[in-house]
């Protein structure tokens, strides 16, 4: 007989005679269910004790526990070091599928109606990893200023799913929208005192409910069930358009903050077991947010896994990006373990089969930087890629202008361009690397080219917040300028950054607005700026439309050329299916020497990549990268099977409609300073 699963069916389960509530707590001495009057969420209509059962799971059944009822849990326990019991507090059931708020701001669980949502013919697009182009966006900010969205739907789930928003995403060519946190969150106490709000949403209150404020006013008035239906409707419409939805999820910490922060759920139920602590009851904070969820305990492990199952199946989410994922992989001694049971369970759970899993592979604790160390099957944000590409096109150029020579050669860029095999194990391949130049956190791409320093005074922290390590270069003026030469240098730098991102092996992630040069006026930590500073602008200048069209072209070239998106790493002398055979040439068309790789004065390479077909037709491309501001003459390489090169894109040209000529091996051509050229070889 298989062993009974004591942690099964936590939360509320409805049946023909009412419902059952199951809550885990190993430390409580008693738990009480409070059912509230339907007209007054502050009036307790009934109190029912829960009974402890197997595995420290407490339960109660009641004919009054039915759909539409608001409820809370009260917990009594020892007044000892590390505990935080208060029998007067109304706690949120960690598995609550709905939330309601009282007039005085307290939270109540809400028993959702049985799921009758009609998904129709909508199915998950299941886009292959090598065809995936991520688009990181804010659920509110993406449509808040969109004039084609009805005013009452702007900044909502419905606004994100509006036909005009979807049409924009489809025309851009991205496949997968990655949403900043959309699980119910609240602003930190510090921000509330400052009169500010948490815009990004990395402060989760509950792991099973969508953030109500992003729903339309009509849905909010309809209650938590209507909010959930609007969220599902958004997913359905995006799926029908062939777009995937990935959620940025925050399981590493909660909105309960530090030990003296607000107690709303886990802390009041079993603080000692849900949060990482020292023996004397102090929090082990490896997140920088006040607390760290203790995934070494079975209950916390299961809570996260059950939440993922809910979103992936009941809500049809396609994947998850795990914030500060190193925290999730820490053991009982708070040491990161790449074979942590939770990390393996997320990958191997049959109920999560086919789901994209992406880690932010670091936190702020000891040993917190774990890029390249997650298990096979996981993809990771590659911050080394981000920093090196910024350096090559930005800070190295600034250094060259100031000191007469660049500080680095081109070898480091080439390794990352080819899929970062020096970072990820061979069995994981290029799909382990999520490549990005920018994300929500930091400068926008336009600001990388316009600011040497952060400008965060508006955040209320006297410009102390946000990183000072931006790897940016303003090309001669801080902020906006009327200098045409500086403006053109910035535009070309953006084209180079976009080209590098979208033509590299790995999974590209584009930050919303970078495709047309959105600015945040130098704010590199706009987490508390819920305004036009952070919302996606829908009115563009001419140069922005040109940049947008170039981004569309680059995504198209990526899709049409499998040599740009290998699934596996190549091995010299072998033919590996769905890999890329790579040949590297210098500006003379000769195989690269060590000096060519490493010399700061030889920052030019030609990357000839041929696909090794498994599912698609054979394809070969040539990519020329030149990282100095002086023009260079390049001799196109001669290679067996190559008879000619068709120029597809030149980053030195700002007009994406300009005619591109054909060339032959051995031909000399001039490559403009700091630019890239993409050819199809034939």
Token digits of residue 202 = 């990395």
Per residue in 281-294, is it b (16+ CB within 10 Å) or e — as a string?
A: eebbbbbebbbbbb
Residue 420 lies in a domain: no
**C-alpha triplet 643, 645, 651: angle, nearest 5°:** 165
The CATH number of the domain holding residue 611 is 2.60.40.1180
Strand residue runs (E) in 382-443: 433-436
DSSP bridge partners of 134: 176, 509
Rounded CA-CA distance 514/500 in Å is 14
Name which of 514, 354, 359, 508 is nearest 434 in CA terms.
Answer: 508
> What secondary structure does DSSP assign to 319-360, as a single string?
EEEETTHHHHTB-TTS-B-TT-HHHHHHHH-GGGTT-EEEE-
Residue-by-residue DSSP string for 244-258: EEEEEE--S--TT-S
Looking at 285, 318, 323, 596, which residue is catalytic?
A: 323
**Whether residue 151 lies in the annotated active site:** no
Q: Which of these three, 110, 135, 151, is where a domain ends?
A: 110
- 613 forms bridges with which residues in the sheet? none
**Number of domains the chain is built from:** 2
Whether 465 contacts 196, CB under 8 Å: no
- Burial of residue 111 (CB within 10 Å: 0-12, 13-18, 19+) is buried
Output the pLDDT for position 246: 98
| Position 178 in a domain | no
How confident is the model over 633-648, as pLDDT tens digits? 999 999 999 999 999 9
Element (H, E) at 455: none
CA nearest to 634, candidates 600, 679, 598: 679
Q: Which of 130, 248, 360, 396 is catalytic?
A: 360
Q: Which of 85, 110, 135 is the last residue of a domain?
A: 110
Helix (H, G, I), strand (E, B) or coil at 521: coil
In a domain, 223, yes or no: no
Provide the residue range defining the domain that includes 635.
571-681
In a domain, 231, yes or no: no
Place of tokens 């409805």: 14
Task: Classify the C-alpha dihedral 7-13-15-19 as positive or negative.
Answer: positive
- 387 is an active site residue: no
Q: What secondary structure letter does DSSP report for 545? A: H
DSSP strand E in 287-443: where? 319-322, 356-359, 379-381, 433-436
Domain final residue, candidates 56, 87, 110? 110
Residue 350 is assigned to a structural domain of this protein:
no
CATH, residue 102: 2.60.40.10
Please state, in angstroms and rounded to a whole number, the distance separating the CA atoms of residues 596 and 511: 33
| Residue 596, in any domain of the structure | yes
**Is the residue at 468 inside a domain?**
no
Helices 484-503, 383-390: axis angle to 10 degrees equals 150
pLDDT at residue 616 in the model: 95
pLDDT number for residue 93: 98
Residue 446 inside a domain? The answer is no
Residue 398 has phi, psi (to 5 degrees) of -60, -40
pLDDT digits (tens, 9 = 90+) for 104-143: 999 999 999 998 999 999 999 999 999 999 999 999 999 9
What's the pLDDT score for residue 2?
A: 62
Regions of the chain where pLDDT drops below 50: none
Rounded CA separation 530/526 (Å)? 8
């Amino acid at each position: 007989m298989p062993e009974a699963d004591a942690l099964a069916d936590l939360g509320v389960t409805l049946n023909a005679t009412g419902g059952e509530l199951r809550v885990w707590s190993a430390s409580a001495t008693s738990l009480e269910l409070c059912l509230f009057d339907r007209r007054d969420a502050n009036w307790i209509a009934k109190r029912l004790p829960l009974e402890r059962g197997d595995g420290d799971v407490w339960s109660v059944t009641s004919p009054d526990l039915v759909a539409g009822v608001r409820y809370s849990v009260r917990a009594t326990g020892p007044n000892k070091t590390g505990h935080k019991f208060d029998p007067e507090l109304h706690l949120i059931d960690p598995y609550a599928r709905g939330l309601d708020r009282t007039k005085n701001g307290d939270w109540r669980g809400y028993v959702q109606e049985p799921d009758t949502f009609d998904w129709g013919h909508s199915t998950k697009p299941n886009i292959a990893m090598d065809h995936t182009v991520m688009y990181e966006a804010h659920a509110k900010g993406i449509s808040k200023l969109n004039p084609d969205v009805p005013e009452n739907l702007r900044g909502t789930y419905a606004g994100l799913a509006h036909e005009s928003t979807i049409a924009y995403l489809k025309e851009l060519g991205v496949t997968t929208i990655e949403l900043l946190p959309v699980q119910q969150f609240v602003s930190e106490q510090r921000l509330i005192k400052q009169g500010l709000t948490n815009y990004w949403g990395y402060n989760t209150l509950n792991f099973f409910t969508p953030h109500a404020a992003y729903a339309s006013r009509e849905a909010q008035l309809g209650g938590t069930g209507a909010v959930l239906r609007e969220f599902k409707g958004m997913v359905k419409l995006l799926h029908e358009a062939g777009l995937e939805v990935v959620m940025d999820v925050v399981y590493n910490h909660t909105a309960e903050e530090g030990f003296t922060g607000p107690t709303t759920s886990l802390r009041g139920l079993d603080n000692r077991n849900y949060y990482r602590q020292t023996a004397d009851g102090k929090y082990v904070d490896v997140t920088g947010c006040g607390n760290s969820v203790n995934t070494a305990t079975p209950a916390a492990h299961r809570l996260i896994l059950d939440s993922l199952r809910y979103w992936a199946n009941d809500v049809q989410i396609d994947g998850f990006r795990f914030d500060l994922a190193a925290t999730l992989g820490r053991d009982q001694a708070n040491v990161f373990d790449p074979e942590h049971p939770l990390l393996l369970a997320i990958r191997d759970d049959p109920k999560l089969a086919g789901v994209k899993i992406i880690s932010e592979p670091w936190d702020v604790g000891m040993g917190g930087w774990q890029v390249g160390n997650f298990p096979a099957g996981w993809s990771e944000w590659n911050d080394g890629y981000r920093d090196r590409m910024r350096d090559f096109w930005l800070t190295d150029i600034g250094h060259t202008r100031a000191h007469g020579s660049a500080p680095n050669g081109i070898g480091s860029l080439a390794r990352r361009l080819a899929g970062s095999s020096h970072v990820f194990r061979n069995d994981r391949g290029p799909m382990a690397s999520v490549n990005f130049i920018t994300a929500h956190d930091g400068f926008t791409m336009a600001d990388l080219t316009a600011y040497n320093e952060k400008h965060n005074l508006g955040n209320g922290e006297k410009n102390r917040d946000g990183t000072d390590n931006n790897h940016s270069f303003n090309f001669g003026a801080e902020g906006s300028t009327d200098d045409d030469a500086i403006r053109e240098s910035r535009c070309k730098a953006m084209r180079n950054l976009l080209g590098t991102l979208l033509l590299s092996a790995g999974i590209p992630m584009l930050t919303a607005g970078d495709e047309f040069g959105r600015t945040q006026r130098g704010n590199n930590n706009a987490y508390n700026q819920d305004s036009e500073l952070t919302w996606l602008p829908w009115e563009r200048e001419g140069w922005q439309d040109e940049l947008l069209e170039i981004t569309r072209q680059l995504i198209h070239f990526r899709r049409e050329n499998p040599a740009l998106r290998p699934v596996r790493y190549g091995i010299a002398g072998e033919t590996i299916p769905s890999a890329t055979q790579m040949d590297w040439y210098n500006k003379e068309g000769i195989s690269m020497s060590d000096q060519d790789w490493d010399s700061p004065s030889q920052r030019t390479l030609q990357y000839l990549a041929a696909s090794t077909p498994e599912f698609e037709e054979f394809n070969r491309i040539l990519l020329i990268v030149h990282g100095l501001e002086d023009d260079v003459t390049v001799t196109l390489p001669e290679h067996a099977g190559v008879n000619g090169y068709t120029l597809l894109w030149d980053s030195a040209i700002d007009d994406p409609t300009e005619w591109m000529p054909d060339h032959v091996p051995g031909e000399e051509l001039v490559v403009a300073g700091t630019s890239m050229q993409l050819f199809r070889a034939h």
